[in-house]
Copies of this chain bind each other. A is one copy, B any other.
Amino acid sequence: MEAALTYARDHAEEFRQQLRDLLRIPSVSTSPESAGAVREAAEWLADNMKRAGFENVAVMPTDGHPVVYGDWLHAGDDVPTVLIYGHYDVQPAVKEDGWDQDPFHPVERDGKLYARGSTDDKGQMFIHVKAVESLLQTEGKLPVNVKLIVEGEEEIGSPNLNDFLVAHRDKLAADVCVISDTAILAEDQPSIIYALRGLVALELEVKGPSQDLHSGIFGGTVHNPLQALSEIIARLHDENGTITVPGFYDSVIPLSDQEREELKKTDSTADEWTRMTGAPRVWGESEFTIRERVGARPTLEVNGVIGGFTGQGIKTVLPAKATAKITCRLVADQDPEHIFDQIRAYIQQIAPPTVTVDVRRLKGSGHPALIDINTPAMQAAITAYEKGWGKVPVFMREGGSIPIVADFQRELDAPVILMGFGLNSDGAHGPNEHFTISMFHKGVDTVIHFLNEAAN
């Protein structure tokens, strides 16, 4: 194992060179025009995995973007099989969003690697490939059996992964699943996520006149769809930031007093939060701490609105329609389908009769997850972080969604370990996304340790 750690150290620059090559491929899964790049990223990864020593490497088709699979299964029946999951697709990004550079031209600066996907999730996923390579290239074997699947649709809600798991249940059978797509608390404080929020996505379209109207001829006599949409959106939260959809919170498992005490240890102050986000003030449900709002409370977020004239200058138009994209983060035990039905019913109830509304569910949803922290695999992860980072990890709730965590738990009947190597300040989904270079290398060491610990 020391040889593997030495190999990783000696090949640090080469590992990062390879990662930069992968980051240059704009594998934006939500954009139909990027389908070629998504495919290219899958092929690149498959090739890299073969060179690393993975066997049975294949770019496996789904109804959407492919899954890259590889394994090494010669450790014997008396040690566990670890299934590692990551994703090679990324969020959309263009320089105009506020990047200091082209988001697909990776740049290393001040100990950080800047590029779309650097932390979410190409960089974190690649840690596993390089840990396996370090072990195989030095010891010729792994301490446990390893299967790696890397999908290309995480950023659009993994619409085809559940079917993939079901179709390949035997091939993917494992004793434990490891996912690296989360942040740790701080650069010097590893943490393990034991709760994730789910997701449901919808589009709300408000239609008024049959076509755009001249605001001079018709203004004041026809309900403006942009105004009606605003009126509806304004009624989805009360002044406290609480969601007003009837029944929305019915299935939320309340936090225990003990859990609230535990979460207080990692809470942020309002000052820290405004400094981190740049927002003038903190917002949201006043009866919950910031950490609780993020990790233990569901949200309803307007991700985008468009309607009417949005170009340069003015256009005195009364638009025919206006559209909002909305996603909700869900917590256990909220059900995405049931929540969608509740929101749709409420919007239809409050929509004024002067417009028509259409509430459509969008692809990309997932159940929230709560993970049992009392398992041997979790103990292996704790030890691995301790060795890789020099510090015992803390347990946390995560506000983001990895919709497939619940799927893995259900379909493969295996515990899931969320082994994160990113930071919340990495700018995932925003401009200037980056990954701290030292954390990439500590991650490789930690995974080498984890695979060893998992054999015990």
Contacts and interface: CB of A to CB of B under 8 A. Distances in A.
Interface stretch (A36-44, A253-261, A311-319, A381-389): A311-319
B304 A305 contact: no
A111 B19 CA distance: 65
B303 A223 contact: no
B98 A278 contact: no
A341 to B, nearest CB: 18
Contact of A230 (B278, B302, B314, B323): B302
Contacts of A306: 305-306, 310
Interface string A279-317: 111111100001001100111011111111111111111
A234 interface: yes
Contacts of A310: 304-306, 323, 325
B313 A308 contact: no
A280 B31 contact: no
Given A156-B313, A285-B220, A301-B316, A234 B231 contact: yes
Contact of A30 (B211, B311, B364, B432): B311
Contacts of A211: 98, 278, 427, 430-432
Interface string A64-83: 00000000000000000000
Interface stretch (A132-140, A170-178, A352-360, A444-452): A352-360
B277 A183 contact: no
Contacts of A208: 277, 279-280
Interface stretch (A9-17, A47-55, A393-401, A406-414): A393-401
A273 interface: yes
A305 B308 contact: yes
Given A219-B299, A308-B303, A399-B216, A281 B354 contact: yes
Interface in A307-347: 307-320, 322-325, 327, 329
B31 A294 contact: no
A216 B230 contact: no
A241 interface: yes
A237 interface: yes
A216 B97 contact: no
A50 to B, nearest CB: 31
Contact of A226 (B241, B305, B329, B398): B305
Contact of A224 (B92, B201, B301, B316): B301
Contact of A213 (B32, B277, B325): B277
A430 B217 CA distance: 12
A227 to B, nearest CB: 5
A60 B415 CA distance: 77
B314 A156 contact: yes
Contacts of A162: none
Nearest to A199: B316
Contacts of A356: 280
A428 interface: yes
Contacts of A218: 277, 294, 399
Contacts of A371: none
A213 B430 contact: yes
Contacts of A201: 314, 316
Contacts of A283: 221-223, 354
Given A223-B281, A309-B325, 16 more contacts: A30-B315, A211-B431, A212-B430, A212-B431, A214-B400, A219-B294, A219-B299, A220-B284, A220-B299, A222-B283, A231-B234, A303-B309, A304-B307, A304-B310, A310-B323, A315-B325
Interface of A: 30-32, 91-92, 97-98, 155-157, 183, 197, 199, 201, 208-224, 226-227, 229-231, 233-237, 241, 273, 277-285, 290, 293-294, 297-299, 301-320, 322-325, 327, 329, 353-356, 362-364, 398-401, 424, 427-432
13 contacts: A98-B320, A209-B278, A213-B277, A217-B294, A219-B399, A221-B293, A221-B294, A230-B234, A233-B234, A278-B320, A305-B308, A310-B325, A314-B364
The 9 closest A-B pairs by CB, nearest first: A210-B278, A216-B400, A304-B308, A30-B313, A230-B233, A223-B283, A234-B234, A230-B230, A306-B310
